[in-house]
């Protein structure tokens, strides 16, 4: 299953947006997030306009392939608005399936890694005005936040391509290719590429083959797990029990448990039985 968690709502007209959705379906992408970018939360809706992601997924058939359009909100952060309340208790943020922040300064990045969000969108197509420090990025990774790389800008601009390659190396030194989600950020349908073309492009950028595929499959799926947990629980806890102690009535929630070999290779594992529609 392929994902594109960033199709900008404000950059595409109605006809271009419809063409982009049609092209994504033709490419085999099954989940798209329509992205709304804001700098202030004052004009956001107070009530939820559409059903949440979790109820829809929990009733779905794991073998059924459906094209889904989710709602994403990206909050642009700079030094002037780092005090915004970005947490699960803010009802305005509950209207969106995916929550991202786009830090423009180092101070904003420090605020972003401590925010209750799913994605940090760095503008890797430009020369970043701050260094990507290992301790800062690790703080986000430990919270389950993913970093976003958008391929759309490099389709439109050769300079953007050079900056993306350079900035990506800084991220790879910390993440080794994990916790990276790749999106289109397409401002026109012609910016879109098929999943296999995207994977080839990522390998040219220096991303290993396995992580190039993960970045448009399992990683965005993990983002949706994180988003569902963030939205539906203000606080959570983990209870650890041996598999043998589980009854047959709850074993289905474990999903496909990684094999010993996969665990040795450091495979990431997240399993929510009620989100099996994204398998």
Measured CA to CA in angstroms, residue 80 lies from 84, 87, 107, 158, 246 at distances of: 10, 18, 10, 32, 50
85, 91, 95, 101: CA torsion to nearest 10: 10
The β-bridge partners of 121 are: 148
Sequence spans of domains, the chain:
2-232, 243-278
Strand 29-38's sheet: what is its strand order? 2-8, 29-38, 68-77, 98-103, 119-121, 146-150, 180-183
C-alpha atoms less than 13 angstroms from C-alpha of 36 in its C-beta half-sphere: 16
What CA–CA distance (Å, rounded) separates 99 from 148? 12
pTM of the model: 0.76
Measured CA to CA in angstroms, residue 151 lies from 1, 37, 56, 59 at distances of: 19, 18, 29, 33
Alpha helices in 75-205 (DSSP H): 106-112, 134-142, 152-156, 158-175, 195-205
In this structure, which topology does domain 2-232 adopt according to CATH?
Answer: TIM Barrel (3.20.20)
What CA–CA distance (Å, rounded) separates 20 from 179? 26
Residue 203's φ and ψ, nearest 5 degrees, are: -65, -35
Q: 147-171 pLDDT, tens per residue?
A: 999 999 999 888 888 999 888 888 8
Low-confidence stretches of the chain (pLDDT < 70) are 43, 45-65, 88, 233-279
Tokens of 108: 């904003």
Measured CA to CA in angstroms, residue 266 lies from 19, 29, 184, 255, 276 at distances of: 39, 27, 28, 18, 22
pLDDT at 251: 55
pLDDT at 65: 60
Tokens of 158: 């050769």
């Amino acid at each position: 299953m392929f994902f594109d968690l960033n199709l900008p709502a404000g950059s595409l007209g109605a006809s271009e947006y419809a063409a982009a959705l049609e092209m994504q379906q033709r490419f085999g992408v099954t989940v798209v997030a329509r992205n709304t970018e804001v700098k202030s939360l004052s004009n956001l809706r107070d009530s939820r306009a559409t059903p949440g992601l979790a109820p829809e997924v929990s009733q779905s058939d794991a073998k059924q392939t459906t094209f889904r359009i989710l709602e994403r909100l990206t909050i642009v952060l700079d030094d002037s608005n780092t005090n915004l309340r970005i947490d699960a208790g803010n009802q305005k943020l509950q209207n969106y399936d995916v929550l991202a922040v786009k830090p423009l300064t180092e101070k904003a990045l420090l605020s972003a890694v401590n925010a209750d969000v799913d994605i940090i969108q760095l503008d890797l197509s430009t020369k970043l005005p701050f260094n990507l420090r290992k301790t800062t990025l690790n703080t986000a990774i430990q919270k389950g936040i993913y970093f976003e790389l958008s391929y759309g800008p490099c389709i439109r601009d050769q300079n953007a391509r050079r900056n993306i390659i350079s900035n990506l190396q800084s991220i790879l030194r910390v993440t080794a290719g994990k916790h990276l989600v790749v999106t289109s950020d397409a401002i026109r349908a012609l910016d879109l590429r098929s999943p296999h073309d995207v994977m080839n492009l990522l390998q040219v950028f220096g991303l290993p083959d396995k992580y190039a595929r993960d970045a448009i499959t399992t990683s965005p799926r993990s983002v949706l797990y994180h988003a569902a947990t963030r939205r539906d629980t203000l606080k959570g806890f983990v209870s650890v029990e041996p598999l043998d102690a589980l009854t047959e009535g709850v074993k289905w929630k474990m999903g496909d448990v990684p094999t010993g070999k996969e665990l040795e290779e450091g495979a990431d594992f997240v399993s929510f039985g009620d989100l099996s529609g994204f398998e």
